[in-house]
Structure 1
Amino acid sequence: MFKDVFAKGRRAGRATAAVAAGLLLCSLPAGPAAAETTRLGGVYDISVSGLTIARGSLSLVVQGNAYSAKAGMEPAGIGTLFSSGKGGAEASGWLSGKSVRPARYKMASRAADRDFFVDLEQGSGKVRSMRVTPKFKPNAERIKVTKKHTRGVVDPLSAILMPISARRGDEKSVCARKIPVFDGWTRFDIQLSYKETREVSGKGYDGQVIVCSARWIPVAGHRPSVASVKYMAENRKMEAWLAPLGAGNVYVPYRIEMGTKSGTLVVEPRKLDLSGARDQATR
């Protein structure tokens, strides 16, 4: 749901956070089985120190073991005084047990009069093809991204999907994971750990959320001496509130908080359809 909200983690090499999601570009496996479809739609406010700076939109569809998502973001509130940039992302892939296997990720945005574009194709647990604009300028300090850094990774958008086992009472395990993310420029991990369980209500969802502490861990593509990289790597003020989607075997971010040098950045729903509505489709 985030250019990748943890994509803010991505911009630790160049900035700090955003919102994203994706669109199903792959066909579902053929066969007469019944496929359960679960949908999520939402509008999110992005604020710093209580001041709204941007607004994001997210749509997500999970059909059987296939997922697709799409997200957009544009300035809002006080943010319109400083930026006219906007962007969007889309992703698709498959869920396999407790794993997410992306197939395609595309992101396009414009900020500070610069265009950013990423097109990743994945398969067999690795990035098969990649187009990225702009490319990093040569720098001896930058940790080189190699093939090993692009194996077994998810894109920033697919990272919002967190499958768990179907066992009852296993909800806390959603935080027991390290998410390997590659955004086309940098490779980083998001380390989650369980913090607490809360009840939320209003804005379209009433129920429990699992609160995870989060850490951003740089792996490759970054320059270790850059101030923003150091700040994010040492940042202990990061957490994600996760809510169940549909039957509860997949969790997605409900709210994200992150400390920044300008104050606490919060991504939270303004209007959310996370009712878990499902339907049966015959393939």
Structure 2
Amino acid sequence: MAFATRRRQDCHSVTRHRRFSALLTAARRSGPGLSLCTSLAFTALAQAPAHAQARLDAQYEATLAGIPVGRGSWTIEIGDDQYTASAFGGTSGLLKAISNGSGTGAAQGRVVNGALIATNYSASTTTSKKTEAIHITLANGNVKESGIDPTPPVDPDRVPVTDAHKKNVFDPMTASLLRVPGNADPLSPDACRTGAAVFDGRMRYDLTLDFKRMETVRADKGYRGQVVVCAIYFKAVAGYIPDRPVIKYLQSARNMEIAFAPIPGTRFLVPFRMVVPTPLGTAMLEATQFITQANPHSPKTQ
């Protein structure tokens, strides 16, 4: 964009710098905000199971107010009796020039009667100032052990996470894979009538979906077709600081949404696009590549 004077260019640059700095600060503190919109970019490559029913290789671009701020990749393999989901991502564009960051993580588990039962989840984020690693071990939906390295300081204002909060939960990545039971077309309004209890290693929160619309999308590479768009609602349960503005904002937001696309050969839907309006502009994570491959020799997950 052309500007009439150098002064206007400088003012615009300072404004964008402040907006990105504010975004970075909010992202570091948000926890669930990252889970909703950018955690796909902050995960790690994992070993794939043999004889997969289906595989997804996806690449995403994150934008804020239409300006690119990050890129990530996501790989999912669903087998007859096990699954892995993994990704890698980092900042890009102007945000990278201001504060470089990247992340890795992975989720693994078993496939039992068509459902994904996580056994391990890990994630790490690295910025110019610090590196943080989270790990969770689960058994039948219950957290057996979890930790953050380095151990964060104790904040007396944080709502404590109890053992009861760690039962019947999903890790953030497994929670992103939407399973649609039954035999009908999984890509339907019924797919949105669900929710999940999530523990990300620090915070316990609930996500609830509701149907919004059907839509047609087109990735630069790969998928072209319908998606089901769900509204998503966030409720903090434990592990959060009630007075933190990002928590209040996410809990009151009524215009966040996720568009889910299918993985052929399974009854699972995967986020194709996620939209989270923020005071700094609309944050969006959208697939630029969404390539799926079904194994014709494997039975469809029920």
TM range (shorter): 0.7 to 0.9
CA distance, structure 2, for counterparts of residue 38 and residue 27 of structure 1 = 10
Equivalences for residues 183-194 of structure 1 within 5 A: 183-194=200-211
The answer to whether structure 1 residue 123 and structure 2 residue 139 are counterparts is yes
1:50 shift after superposition: 0.3
1:193 shift after superposition: 0.6
1:65 shift after superposition: 3.7
Question: 2:257 aligns to what?
Answer: 239
SS of residue paired to 1:143: coil
Contact in 2 for aligned 1:12/1:232 (Cα 8 Å) = no
Equivalences for residues 92-241 of structure 1 within 5 A: 92-97=108-113, 99-169=115-185, 171-203=188-220, 204-241=222-259
Contact in 2 for aligned 1:195/1:213 (Cα 8 Å) = yes
SS of residue paired to 2:145: strand
1:53 shift after superposition: 0.3
Question: 1:79 aligns to what?
Answer: 95
- Cα shift readout 1:26-61 (whole Å, capped 9, x = no counterpart): 978xxxxxx552000011100000000000111110
The structure whose residues are more often helix, as a share, is: 2
- Cα shift readout 1:7-42 (whole Å, capped 9, x = no counterpart): x999525865423356667978xxxxxx55200001
Structure with greater contact order relative to length (CA < 8 Å, sep ≥ 6):
1
Measured on the aligned residues, the alpha-carbon RMSD in Å equals 2.6
1:235 shift after superposition: 1.3
Q: Percent identity?
A: 26
Give the TM-score, by structure 2 length. 0.81
Judged with a 3 Å threshold, the aligned counterparts in structure 2 of structure 1 residues 153 and 24 are, in CA distance, closer, same or farther, namely farther
The structure whose residues are more often strand, as a share, is: 1
The answer to whether structure 1 residue 60 and structure 2 residue 76 are counterparts is yes
Q: Give structure 1 regions of 4+ aligned residues with deviation exceeding 6 angstroms.
A: 25-28
Question: 2:297 aligns to what?
Answer: 280
SS of residue paired to 2:170: coil
SS of residue paired to 2:172: coil
Contact in 1 for aligned 2:193/2:209 (Cα 8 Å) = yes
CA distance, structure 2, for counterparts of residue 242 and residue 14 of structure 1 = 19
Q: How many residues align?
A: 268
Contact in 2 for aligned 1:10/1:183 (Cα 8 Å) = no
Judged with a 3 Å threshold, the aligned counterparts in structure 2 of structure 1 residues 97 and 113 are, in CA distance, closer, same or farther, namely same
Gaps of 5+ in 1: 1-7, 29-34
Contact in 1 for aligned 2:63/2:285 (Cα 8 Å) = yes
Bigger Rg, structure 1 or 2 = 2
Q: Which amino acid aligns with 1:197?
A: M
Gaps of 5+ in 2: 1-25
Give the TM-score, by structure 1 length. 0.86
Contact in 1 for aligned 2:219/2:287 (Cα 8 Å) = no
